[in-house]
Structure 1
Amino acid sequence: MSAAAYIRSNLVLFGALSANLGIAVAKFVAAALTGSSSMLSEGIHSVVDSTNQVLLLYGEKRADNPPDERHPFGYGRELYFWSFVVAILIFAVGAGVSFYEGYIHYSEPTELTDPTINYVVLGVAFVLEGTSWTIAMREFASVRGDNSWWTAVRKSKDPSVFIVMFEDSAALIGLVVAAIGVWASHQFDAPRLDGIASMVIGLVLAMVAVLLARETKGLLIGEPARTGIVDRVAEIVLAKEWITGVNHVRTIHSSPKQVFVAISADFRDDLTMGEAEGLIEGLEDELTAAIPELRSIYIRPEKASCAVDFLAGPSAARTKP
């Protein structure tokens, strides 16, 4: 893949990374000048987000590596691994440090200073984060189809898009909380409120991290292809006159766009082994042409009476009328 194609395919990640790097610098400068705990928490949040985007880009790059002797099914799951690391970083660093800093500033409040620079930085950050969030939402909307947003997240096999979407959503919420904290601490002359705002930001990040960890864990362990792919595979196989039934179709995503499929089918009894080998090879080519996501195909001749689907039992077999 060329550099231009790589950037285009990861536009959401590059957009989020660019926004977060600039925002992080501005937030830390504002925190240093004003002593705001919530601004410091927001700066840490932006650094964590920037690191997360770098890790996801690294995972995307590694996932494109072709299969080799050590990894015969490719490196696709590297993206799932780094996505899980991202969730851990958000929880351990983003949420943990934000909550800790908030507690410190609540216990030992600092003297209030002119908050103008905080409001300027928060406003610019909201515009940049909102732009990144809009890009992520549009990208996710283009692939979710008729599903609800939550259902689409649960079914999605590409964590890079929905992670950025959740990160940016948490960032926008955090900016609002930080702005309220800065305003309230000056309005009521109570600097402890700024520390409380920082702890609230930490809790928001913790909730997002738990949600992302749950979703990426399923991908890392292994999730099946969508029902449409399974049904299409069974339909193509069952259409062959030399196959009398499909016992079961097993699938698992090795990357967002790569699927391993194992098929148990009942072959016609009069086929010789030599004939079956040629027919299976042709069937694999047809499946790959019809469903490009299929990268590894395993077809096992098996009598229906001997094949038991441990997921649904013998009734799951598809036979010809």
Structure 2
Amino acid sequence: MARTPGHFRDNIVLYGALAANLGIAIAKFVAAGIGGSSAMATEGVHSLVDSGNQLLLLYGQRRGQRPPDAAHPFGYGRELYFWAFVVAILIFAGGAGISIYEGITHIHKPTPIGDPTLSYIVLGIAFAMEGTSWAIAVKEFNAGRAGQSWWRAVLQSKDPPDFIVLFEDSAALVGLVIAALGIWASGHFADPRLDGAASVVIGLVLAGVAILLARESKGLLIGEAADPDLIAGLRAVMERNADIIGVNHIRTVHTGPDSVFVAASVDFADDLPMGKAQTLIEALETQMKALSPKIASVYIRPEKREDATPG
């Protein structure tokens, strides 16, 4: 199912985050090379991993736009969910794993940090850039929350870039603060191991974010139902028809961020002629699709209530 033009804003968020992370990664590695900070090197890896993640999400969006074909009759929308899951794995392995390894190595073989001035400058610039990217992500995420709490909006979201960029930027800001504290503490207490400890803490933050993103991406990849309000609307369309005795169940599944498949079991009146039933089903499908542009396919199965599976 092709993504609608309204989702171009998602690409703006991704492109903005990508540009910021690439520039920040280079600056962090330069500062780490000059100053010798383990936390700064860890932050460089963090930004580099984030850059790769944005590229993968953009790739997933593009792949998910392919139209349905014989091999994939419901389209390729779920491919975005696959790449979102890959992103979570990369954050865990490439971000958290390397950060913790780098920190432990630095703790075992501590190296004094040179002049931290450059590191502080880079961290300050990075915080400003990451903060700008975070503000854009928050603005776009709030636009789609529809009054829901943040946590509820994340659980209900069917579009991974909506929350992945937000979580990545949030983790990046937290990581920058931890890196700055690690560099300061290392010099203030004359103990370079504290810089390595900061790297470990950054890694643990990334691990937590990765686990959360993997959990949400897994649910989408397996298949999640449509919004409860939409399901209620679908039921109302059928229940208000006089030729329908009852609605046994309505099953929905997202086949992509903007594509929903609907299957309903309906008990029609016994005296309803076959021809009229066919016309009624077509009318119901039209009314149901009018509820949301995300409804791509509707399947209505006539079935006696006593034979239906509760749902």
TM-score range, shorter chain: over 0.9
Q: CA 1:61–1:6 in 2, change beyond 3 Å: closer, same or farther? A: farther
Q: Which amino acid aligns with 1:135?
A: I
SS in 2 for 1:38: helix
Map residues 184-223 of structure 1 onto 2, 5 A cutoff.
Answer: 184-223=185-224
Q: 1:7·1:14 contact (CA, 8 Å) conserved in 2?
A: no
Cα displacement (A) at 1:7? 4.7
The alignment status of 1:300 with 2:301, answered yes or no, reads: yes
Task: Give 1:247's aligned residue.
Answer: 248
1:158 to partner: Cα distance: 1.2
The whole-number CA distance in structure 1 between the counterparts of 2:10 and 2:189 is 48
Amino acid at match of 1:152: A
Q: Which amino acid aligns with 1:235?
A: A
The alignment status of 1:172 with 2:173, answered yes or no, reads yes
Name the counterpart of 1:120.
121
Q: Deviations over 1:53-76 (max 9, x none)?
A: 111111111111111111000111
Residues 1:89 and 2:90 are matched in the alignment: yes
- Does residue 1:107 correspond to 2:93, yes or no? no
CA distance, structure 1, for counterparts of residue 291 and residue 130 of structure 2:
40
Q: Could you say which residue in structure 2 is the equivalent of 1:141?
A: 142
TM-score for both structures, normalised by structure 2: 0.96
How far residue 274 of structure 1 moved from its aligned partner, in angstroms, is 2.9
Distance of aligned partners of 1:14 and 1:32 in 2 relative to their CA distance in 1, 3 Å threshold: same
What is the distance in 2 between the residues matched to 1:223 and 1:112? 49
Rounded Cα–Cα distance in structure 1 between residues aligned with 2:23 and 2:282: 54
Distance 1:286 1:221, change over 3 A: same
- What is the deviation of 1:187? 1.3
Identity of aligned residues (%): 60
Letter in 2 for 1:78: E
SS in 2 for 1:27: helix
Question: Which residue matches 2:280?
Answer: 279
Aligned to 1:46: 47
Cα separation, 2, equivalents of 1:9 and 1:122: 27
The 8 Å contact of residues 39 and 103 in structure 2, kept in 1 or not, is answered as yes
Q: CA deviation at 1:6?
A: 6.9
Which portions of structure 1, spanning 4 or more consecutive aligned residues, are displaced by more than 3 angstroms?
4-9
Separation in structure 1 between the aligned mates of residue 7 and residue 247 of structure 2, nearest angstrom: 39
Write the letter of the residue equivalent to 2:105: I
Runs (5+) with no aligned partner, structure 2: none
Contact 2:261–2:297 (CA<8 Å) still a contact in 1? yes
DSSP-derived class of the 2:305 partner = coil
The residue that corresponds to 1:225 in the other structure is 226
The CA RMSD measured in Å over matched residues stands at 1.7
Distance in 2 separating the partners of 1:50 and 1:9: 15
Q: Who is 2:99 aligned against?
A: 98
SS in 1 for 2:24: helix
